[in-house]
């Protein structure tokens, strides 16, 4: 049961959410009576405890980062969003990805912090739906409705807080968007394995060509990446530096967005997602 209603699409219903939490707490308490969590950990030789989900295709991403056309795309995006703080979402068209909730949180951020209006942009790449039907169309309609409401209320000539990029979007274009974004938001209300944060982190580590396109000195600085991740996603425990959020709590997500874009560089360094060593990357596959 999800805290949604037929009349409000994927919008938050507090009464249903409280019932959902209550039912799951009862279930969790019963589970803990028969399970000893201490037996669930795996130790690897003399290393500290590690959580290693399925990995990403590093060489493929790095090859795209090395393409001259990718650097050209980065330059185009840099010019397009010059002077803006760019947050990024990359999600499938799916009711469980929490896209409209993410848009509502951005609206709340701009409501709470008027000084960010005109400065913050959420670029949302939406991959094509894996199926067709009434449910998919309803999700699309809800996403469009919320985006239009936020853009109408907080936008102005030459500025749209929410920029939707409908798929299919090439890997090369996604790499360019990852590279320019200061924060990645993965806001799903239910998900298993989602590799977007890992791809984002690799691309944010940069390369000489990409950083030249961004006007940065690749050799003199370490790139920072901040990730907001839903606590209802199965892989979230492996993202040790990410900011975890409850996607249904619009105010909390808005506060997390503000934290992500306003924290000092030193704190961003500590909050950067854990980066795998070559050995750990091999263990992931």
CATH number at residue 97: 3.40.50.2000
* 5 and 119 co-located in one domain: no
Same domain, 70 and 8: no
Q: How many domains does the chain have?
A: 2
Rounded to the nearest 10 degrees, what angle do helices 58-66 and 196-204 cross at?
Answer: 40
Q: 271 pLDDT exceeds 70?
A: no
Provide the residue range defining the domain that includes 134: 58-284
In terms of domains, do 125 and 219 share one? yes
Residues 32 and 74 in one domain: no
Instruction: Tell whether 17 and 132 lie within a shared domain.
Output: no
In a domain? residue 50 = no
Residue 53 domain flag: no
Do 100 and 17 share a domain, yes or no? no
Per residue in 29-52, pLDDT (tens digit) is 877 766 655 554 444 444 474 555
Mean pLDDT (whole number) for 209-223: 64
**18 and 125 fall within a common domain:** no
Interatomic CA distance for residues 61 and 202, integer angstroms: 8
Do 36 and 141 belong together in one domain?
A: no
Pick the range with the lowest mean pLDDT from 14-18, 156-160, 180-184, 211-215: 211-215
| Structural domain includes residue 51 | no
d(CA 180, CA 123): 11
Percent of the chain with pLDDT over 90: 41
pTM for the model:
0.74
pLDDT value of position 126: 93
- 104 within a domain of the structure (yes/no): yes
Residues 136 and 29 in one domain: no
pLDDT of residue 115: 95
Per residue in 186-204, pLDDT (tens digit) is 999 988 778 898 899 888 8
Q: What angle do CA 69, 75, 76 make, to 5 degrees?
A: 90
Q: Could you tell me if 110 and 7 lie in one domain? A: no
Q: Which of 39-53, 60-74, 107-121 has the lowest mean pLDDT?
A: 39-53
Compute the distance between CA of residue 131 and CA of residue 208 in angstroms, rounded to an integer.
40
Please give the pLDDT value at position 195: 86
pLDDT digits (tens, 9 = 90+) for 138-156: 999 999 999 999 999 999 9
């Amino acid at each position: 049961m999800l805290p949604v209603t037929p009349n409000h699409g994927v919008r938050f219903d507090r009464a249903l959410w409280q019932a959902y939490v209550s039912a799951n707490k009862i279930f969790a308490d019963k589970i803990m009576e028969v399970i000893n969590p201490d037996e669930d950990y795996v130790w690897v030789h003399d290393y500290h405890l590690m959580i290693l989900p399925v990995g990403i295709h590093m060489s493929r991403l790095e090859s795209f980062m090395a393409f001259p056309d990718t650097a050209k795309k980065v330059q185009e995006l840099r010019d397009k969003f010059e002077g803006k703080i760019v947050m990024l979402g990359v999600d499938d068209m799916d009711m469980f990805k929490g896209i409209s909730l993410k848009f509502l949180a951005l609206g709340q951020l701009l409501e709470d912090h008027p000084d960010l209006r005109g400065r913050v942009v959420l670029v949302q790449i939406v991959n094509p739906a894996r199926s067709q039907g009434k449910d998919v169309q309803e999700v699309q309609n809800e996403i469009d409705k919320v985006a239009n409401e936020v853009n109408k209320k907080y936008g102005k000539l030459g500025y749209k807080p929410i920029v939707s990029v409908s798929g299919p979007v090439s890997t090369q274009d996604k790499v360019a968007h990852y590279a320019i974004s200061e924060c990645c938001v993965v806001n799903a209300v239910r998900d298993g394995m989602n590799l977007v944060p890992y791809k984002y982190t690799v691309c944010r580590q940069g390369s000489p060509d990409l950083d030249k396109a961004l006007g940065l000195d690749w050799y003199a600085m370490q790139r920072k990446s901040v990730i907001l991740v839903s606590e209802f996603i199965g892989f979230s425990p492996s993202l040790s530096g990410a900011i975890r959020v409850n996607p249904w709590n619009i105010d909390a997500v808005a506060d997390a967005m503000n934290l992500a874009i306003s924290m000092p560089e030193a704190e961003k360094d500590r909050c950067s997602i854990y980066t795998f060593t070559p050995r750990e990357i091999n263990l992931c596959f």
